[in-house]
Amino acid sequence: MTNLQALSRFYLTLVPFLAAAVALAIGHSKPQLYLPIWLVHALLMVIAVRHLGKNCLTSLDPQQRQRGAIALLVIIPWTFFTVFAGMGPPPTSIADWVATATEQQIRYALLIAGGISITAGFALLANQLRQSGEKTYGLLGLLAMGIALPLFILNMAYWGSFLVESFTHFSGVSMAKRPDWYLAMRALFTWISGVEVALFYLATAGFAQALQSIGWFKARACRLYLIFSLAGALLSVLPPFSIEPLVIATYLVSIPAFPFIMPYLMGLHLLNLANRTLPIVQ
């Protein structure tokens, strides 16, 4: 790996964590401010991916090129997810939801598109794993993702469409009390959210174990993925607790883009494999 490739990987590895830190620390900014910054950052990401994946994306080996395609499918969504750093977390009041309705619709539309892209990437990865002789963990991971994706789309549509329209209506009629149907829907989607988030984390655990089985992950890296994935799955389905650290942890692991951080890091790893002297598993 060249120094430029190492620098590119370091920068790309920091991307989701820096975006989350900015979003949580600064909150919502004006589009006139964050969109130009995001465009510059997106260009830097494209350049970094090009340098890191040069050996993989331009290889004459079809296995290497498919590995590059898999990586791109899970990395590209994060080029768009980073715009959430300027949008900040979802609003906490009806007035803010109504004022930022268009941004919220864009946020959840990008998440849906990103979830579909990442699932497609992992479907291709499951195929490569099967060709390499791994037929259990990759299949279980793909099954978990296949169940999670429709729930994820439904959940994101709830946040991006149903809530926006409901809050606009509530604001227009000045309701002091939420109708029963709204409370029932909110309870339902709390369950749906917990299940789909847990399934995405479990899918990541399955693919991490599969990648170790064929030698693309070292045992230590696999253990880290398993620990964080299983912890995320458990926290996402825990009932509400009054213990502050658990409340914060449950909130963080359930942020829609957060379950996609580990797949993103896996994508970087797949690009980086071509920069090493590891043999290609046939």
pLDDT in tens, 146-177: 999 999 999 999 999 988 888 887 766 555 56
Which has the closest alpha carbon to 199: 238, 163, 230, 245? 230
CA 215 remoteness from chain centre: 24
Q: Which of 30-39, 52-61, 225-234 has the lowest mean pLDDT?
A: 52-61
pLDDT at 172: 60
Inter-CA distances, 248 with 91, 106, 245, 251, Å? 17, 26, 5, 5
pLDDT at 126: 94
Average pLDDT over residues 101-121: 96
Rounded Cα–Cα distance for residues 91 and 168 (Å): 13
Tell me the one-letter amino acid at 243.
I
pLDDT at 181: 78
Question: Taking 50 as the threshold, does the pLDDT of residue 144 lie above it?
Answer: yes
* pTM score of the predicted model: 0.91
Q: What is the 3-state secondary structure (H, E, C) of the chain?
A: CCHHHHHHHHHHHHHHHHHHHHHHHHCCCCHHHHHHHHHHHHHHHHHHHHHHCHHHHCCCCHHHHHHHHHHHHHHHHHHHHCCHHHHCCCCCCHHHHHHCHHHHHHHHHHHHHHHHHHHHHHHHHHHHHHHCCCCCHHHHHHHHHHHHHHHHHHHHHHHHHHHHHHHHHHHHHCCCCCCHHHHHHHHHHHHHHHHHHHHHHHHHHHHHHHHHHCCCCCHHHHHHHHHHHHHHHHHHHCCCCCCHHHHHHHHHHHCCCHHHHHHHHHHHHHHHHCCCCCCCCC
pLDDT at 242: 62
pLDDT at 169: 76
Average pLDDT over residues 55-69: 84
pLDDT at 176: 54
pLDDT at 175: 56
Reported as a pLDDT band with limits 50, 70 and 90, residue 206 is very high
pLDDT in tens, 30-54: 999 999 999 999 999 999 999 998 8
Rounded Cα–Cα distance for residues 206 and 203 (Å): 5
pLDDT at 152: 97
Q: Domain locations in the chain?
A: 3-273
Reported as a pLDDT band with limits 50, 70 and 90, residue 65 is confident
